[in-house]
Amino acid sequence: SEGGPDPLLDGLNPSQSRAVSARGPALLIVAGAGSGKTRVLTHRIAHLIRNREAWPSQILAITFTNKAAAEMRERIDGLLGAASEGMWVSTFHSACVRILRREAERFGYVAGFTIYDSADSRALLKRIIKELDADTYGFTPANAGSKISRLKNELTDADGYAATMNASDPRDRLFVEIFKTYEQELRRANAFDFDDLIGQTVQLFRSHPDVAAVYQRRFRHILVDEYQDTNHAQYSLIRELTRPVQAEQVERLVPPARAGELDAAGRIPAASLTVVGDSDQSIYAFRGADIRNIVEFERDFSGAEVVKLEQNYRSTQNILSAANAVIGNNFDRQEKNLWTAEGDGERIVGFTGYSQHDEARFVAEEVEDLHRAGLAYSDVAVFYRTNSQTRALEELLIRSAIPYRVLGGTKFYERAEIKDAMAYLTSIANPYDPIAWSRLLGAPKRGIGPMAEAHLANFQEEHGLSFHEAMLRSGELAFGPKVLGSIQSLAELLTRAAKMAAGDPEHDQAPAPVGDLLKLILDETEMVEKLRAKRDPQDDARAENLEELVAVAREFDVKQPGAGLLAFLTEVSLVAAADDLDDSSGTVSLMTMHTAKGLEFKAVFITGVEEGLLPHQMSVDEVGGVNEERRLMYVGITRARERLYLTLASTRAVFGDVSVAMPSRFLQEIPEGLIDWRQSPGEVTGRGGTESRALNAPRGGGSGSAGRSRRAVDSNVSFGSGGSGGFSSGSAAVSEPASGNMQSALDKWRERK
Ligand code: ATP
Ligand code: MG
């Protein structure tokens, strides 16, 4: 790459260019939002391949979502003008599933293992808690589940926890019981829960150095995007993959190591590691993400080079200034100096609705205006803090005939009818899975009651059979003729489906497409017809969902011909928050702020910018909670390229209770002049009219960055205090008569002041 222009470095600034061409053992790229971190990763991979420093198969790139992975692969292909086959670009979870599927037998699992989503593992925990009578001690599937998840993210298993717990605490001992049983049941079901995927891979590498050696050797370049959100388990995985292959393992490698691969000590040196991240965008502490991973990178990976990127290419200066001002209120951070050559751009638009419907109406109208002005719907995104905020927004978008989709919120695969159908497919791939099996027995109802189910389950366990085998031998049990008939015909259906799924190589018969399998199951069980026959619109919707599932499967068959059932099940279980199977062309995207990470849109609406929502009530009482919410706000703001809207409602119904909402402290942190209030908080409940002009005037005394730290400290009392602009006009609000709830909330507010 020396001398002469390099098309892969062209158009990059000097720091970006250095980040692409640096070739040390470890590289850390730290930079603010929109500074080209992801772009640099992509160029770096293309650069390595184009310069023949690495084969595509020697590269492992980790992204935060499957969607980001697909985009990155596409970009690399675009840069190289060729398909980068053999390269792994995936999330932590998908990479681990691939490894586990290949190596499952090494530790007593079958390659067809099921991946339990949180609903499945809650179902399993529910049984366990009931069996152990643990509910009387206050255990619920939810609280036990999240504790187990937290421990697994720390790579702590039940035994490990037992070793450190307070043994005199009966509740703790009971928890260990639950945890242990849960582990055993998962293993018996040939299933992994979501956290296992990473933890078990780490475990596998640690207990089988020969297996680890294969991957340590294969991946010569490991690149991780969004490194600030890795948790301990993910960090450990990276650690395992970036160890040198020891000489005694080198001897066993197939194919054998070439001389050039070895260092002086006869080892294969460690893979080079590149991580990019922004500690200001760390928003997954609740899932065990550990900012220290990025802070301590240099210590962990000796010889690491650090590159900082400071030019933002995404947003206008106004948007960037707002983001910088907000994040500047987090005191425990390194000061960054993010700038843009874009120019100021439009001012940020602020709006306060009377209610969430009024807020939604404003959003819909503005989207229409933007669209009329030439913006594509797909250039627009609407963010919110919690999923419950979508309903009002959806209603107004539907009414305005604006095409939209909800990312991560549809929970298509969590719907009962979809889970029913998927249970059949799961059971075909993994006939040992009790959760899937128990589900399909009753879907649709076929007269197999809990007694019969328990009978079969005991029989299965005693004889070490799969559930499918147990059903085939149900004649040996004392069932009445009707129940027996039901069981037998279900068993026959599963036999037929399993044969189709496996294909018959001897008779040259390929495994059936997943769409055909699903069609067989739906036809034979008459699931769709039964729903349609009920003539209930909700059941109609369920029938449509099932038809949609067939369409999804058919699409999968076309996209990945011959990939088979297991690949389909894997894909479905890995569909993560930011992933949707359909594409986003021509629709407005609705999503939570968490899902928005890494994405960018020309126009962004952040809704519900209120105390209690953003920052979320739950975070306010937690140590560091508000700082994390502030980072979330920073992530949200920095998604916008040209237009940013901050909206709120002065009253909001939560669980049917209407309460007065206070503007978020984060709004206070944005310099006044950056926001053009279309309708201010003061106007809404107050006199309206004249204030809107005053709001745009600069804040009196203590404004600008000098006032920042003060406001951060006493932000809970700063509404309406000091100066002439912004929410200070709130005093008008309290002088107006208001009814019921609203009055009392206003009174409270006055007291706080
Ligand atoms: P985030 O922190 O949000 O993940 P990021 O640092 O990964 O952001 P990118 O998404 O890589 O940033 O880049 C932001 C935008 O800036 C993209 O549209 C990208 O194409 C563009 N960009 C980055 N670097 C350059 C450059 N040197 N010239 C032109 N455009 C650039
Ligand atoms: Mg990025």
User: Any known ligand binding at 35?
Assistant: yes
How many whole angstroms separate alpha carbon 138 and alpha carbon 558? 49
- Distance in Å, CA 157 to ligand 1 centroid: 40
Helices 194-207 and 141-153 cross at an angle (nearest 10°) of: 30
pLDDT at 721: 30
DSSP, collapsed to helix, strand or coil, labels residue 660 as strand
If you average pLDDT over every residue of the chain, what do you get?
85
CB hemisphere CA count around 644 (13 angstroms): 31
Mean pLDDT of 534-555: 82
Question: Which range among 574-578, 601-605, 743-747 has the greatest average pLDDT?
Answer: 601-605
Q: Which two tokens stand for residue 621?
A: 């009482």
- Distance in Å, CA 2 to ligand 2 centroid: 28
pLDDT at 743: 37
CB neighbours of 213 closer than 8 A, spacing ≥ 6? 245, 246, 249, 250, 252, 253
How many whole angstroms separate alpha carbon 272 and alpha carbon 47? 14
Can you give the three-state secondary structure of 345-383, one letter per residue? CCCEEEEEECCHHHHHHHHHHHHHHHHHCCCCHHHEEEE
- Distance in Å, CA 702 to ligand 2 centroid: 35
pLDDT at 505: 82
Would you say residue 748 has pLDDT above 80?
A: no
Residues with CB under 5 A from ligand 2 (ion): 37-38, 598
Higher-scoring residue by pLDDT: 704, 187:
187
Residues in contact with ligand 1 (CB, 6 Å cut-off)? 11-13, 16, 31, 33-39, 278, 281, 313-314, 598, 600, 638
DSSP, collapsed to helix, strand or coil, labels residue 652 as strand
Mean pLDDT of 114-128: 89
Mean pLDDT of 104-131: 88
Output phi, psi for 315, to 5 deg.
-115, 165
Q: Which residues pair with 88 in a beta bridge?
A: 60
Which mutation among 310, 314, 324, 383 tests ligand 1's pocket best, with the greatest number of atoms within 8 A of CB? 314
Tens-place pLDDT, residues 264-276 = 999 999 999 999 9
Under 8 Å between Cβ of 251 and 299: no
DSSP, collapsed to helix, strand or coil, labels residue 480 as coil
Would you say residue 719 has pLDDT above 80?
A: no
Would you say residue 741 has pLDDT above 50?
A: no
> What's the Cα-to-Cα distance from 283 to each of 290, 624, 636, 685, rounded to whole Å?
10, 11, 11, 34
Under 8 Å between Cβ of 297 and 243: no
Q: Report the range of poorest mean pLDDT among 298-302, 615-619, 719-723.
A: 719-723
User: Any known ligand binding at 740?
Assistant: no
Burial class (CB in 10 A: 0-12, 13-18, 19+), 97: buried
DSSP, collapsed to helix, strand or coil, labels residue 587 as coil
Higher-scoring residue by pLDDT: 155, 573:
155
> What's the Cα-to-Cα distance from 552 to each of 195, 439, 530, rounded to whole Å?
26, 21, 21
How many whole angstroms separate alpha carbon 539 and alpha carbon 96? 38
Under 8 Å between Cβ of 575 and 581: yes
Predicted confidence band at 685 (pLDDT cuts at 50, 70, 90)? low
pLDDT at 409: 53
Q: Which two tokens stand for residue 269?
A: 């040196």
Mean pLDDT of 547-560: 87
State what percent of residues in the chain have pLDDT above 90: 58
ipTM (interface pTM): 0.99
DSSP 675: E
Q: How many CB atoms lie within 10 A of CB 461?
A: 12
Residue corresponding to tokens 């190289």: 80
Q: Which two tokens stand for residue 658?
A: 């209407």
Give me the amino acid identity at 254. V
Give me the amino acid identity at 294. I
User: Is the pTM above the cut of 0.90?
Assistant: no
State what percent of residues in the chain have pLDDT above 70: 87
Residue corresponding to tokens 């039940």: 158
Would you say residue 146 has pLDDT above 60?
A: yes
Cα of 329 vs its chain's centroid, Å: 27
Under 8 Å between Cβ of 278 and 228: yes
Q: What is the DSSP track for 711-746?
A: HHHTGGG-TT-SSSSGGGGHHHHHHS---HHHHHHH
Residues with active-site annotation: 37-38, 225-226, 281, 639
How many whole angstroms separate alpha carbon 11 and alpha carbon 737? 60
Predicted confidence band at 655 (pLDDT cuts at 50, 70, 90)? low
Would you say residue 697 has pLDDT above 60?
A: no
CB neighbours of 192 closer than 8 A, spacing ≥ 6? 100, 109, 113, 114, 115, 116, 186, 200
User: Any known ligand binding at 33?
Assistant: yes
Tens-place pLDDT, residues 412-468 = 777 788 899 999 999 999 999 999 999 999 988 899 988 999 999 999 999 999 999
Q: Report the range of poorest mean pLDDT among 326-330, 415-419, 622-626, 731-735.
A: 731-735
- Distance in Å, CA 40 to ligand 1 centroid: 8
Would you say residue 33 has pLDDT above 90?
A: yes
Burial class (CB in 10 A: 0-12, 13-18, 19+), 457: middle
Query: What count of residues does the chain have?
Result: 753
Which mutation among 39, 227, 324 tests ligand 1's pocket best, with the greatest number of atoms within 8 A of CB? 39
First-to-final CA distance of the chain: 64
Burial class (CB in 10 A: 0-12, 13-18, 19+), 94: buried
For residue 647, give the nearest of 375, 395, 365 by alpha carbon.
Answer: 365
Nearest CA to ligand 1 atom 8: 34
Tens-place pLDDT, residues 491-501 = 999 999 999 99
Q: Do the strands 311-312 and 88-90 form a parallel or antiparallel pair, or are they unpaired?
A: unpaired
pLDDT at 682: 64
- Nearest ligand 1 atom to the CA of 40 is 11
- Nearest ligand 1 atom to the CA of 35 is 6
- Distance in Å, CA 167 to ligand 1 centroid: 52
Higher-scoring residue by pLDDT: 540, 672:
672
